[in-house]
Amino acid sequence: DGGILNIVENTAQANKLRALRKSWLETNLAVIAALRTLANPIAMMYFALRLLYGYFFDDEFAARFHRHCEEITVSVPLETLYVICAAIELSVAIFCVFRAVYHGFRACCYDRIMGADSVNNAGASYKYIYVAEFYLHDLPALQNLSALRLLAYAHPNLVSKNNRQFTSTNELARMMMEKLVGKEPDSCSDEQLSQELVGLIVQYDHKDLDEDQQLAKADEMLDLMPYSALKVFIDSKASKDREYLVSRGLRPDVLGNLWRLHFIATLEHIVFGITVYCCAVFGMVEFFTKVCR
């Protein structure tokens, strides 16, 4: 509980109650956050249901809605996209609400249902796992619930970051590099694996250069991600000399499965591109919906 940082003059422990008390500003902000958590999903479901009900069951609303969409000249079926976005918003809101209710119920009643001694493999009580899920994931999701967040996934400044999180190419390349150099899974870092391959490239492809030039070449390649480092190694002359690789303790047979890695990388880039495009389209349609609502 703070250890020696709470000791006062080596005689007593400092009282934390004063620091835990909230100011009036923090209390009011907490109330606003709680109201936002309740109001945001309710408003989202209300407007989505209103549009869907009027489109399918109210002829007057559907005709007015159709005329309104025809006045906006775009190259996409705007009316259909409005309805699809409303259906997606309603589905996501219902899912998030039910997930929050489920985690909240499990957090409150787990000990009564399963017993207070029920813990996971790490020794943590499942009750507090559900408490953490409720406060760290469910409540923030309900506060910020909006289809406009899809635009953040397609933002130019975040595309590169989202691509790294979306794809598993680097993890697969790392596994192949571990097998290639004969390392146990997760026994060394990405930098250590890259050093193994970069060292082979420098010693074989650039053996005629002086030491400073070799270090410069190595520095250029050491910052690469596992997939990029593996591609550089494949393009090098060292990867073509099977006897040299075997003499250095490598397993060149692993490179026979490289086409699978390239296929997965290409497929993931295609899927990611389609995902970003769909997020951009639905996000912009949702923006037009909120502006014209």
In this predicted structure, the answer to whether residue 215 has a pLDDT above a threshold of 60 is yes
| 31 pLDDT tier (thresholds 50, 70, 90) | confident
Report how far apart, in Å, the C-alpha atoms of 283 and of each of 150, 225, 251, 273, 289 are. 5, 31, 48, 15, 10
pLDDT one-digit tens code per residue, 216-249? 878 877 778 888 888 888 888 888 888 888 888 8
52-56, 112-116, 140-144, 267-271: which has the minimum mean pLDDT? 112-116
How many of the other CB atoms lie within 10 Å of CB of 150?
22
pTM greater than 0.75 (yes/no): no
Mean pLDDT for 254-278 is 88
In this predicted structure, the answer to whether residue 257 has a pLDDT above a threshold of 60 is yes
Task: Give the mean pLDDT of the chain.
Answer: 81
In this predicted structure, the answer to whether residue 147 has a pLDDT above a threshold of 70 is yes
| 94 pLDDT tier (thresholds 50, 70, 90) | very high
Phi, psi (deg, nearest 5) at residue 22: -95, 145
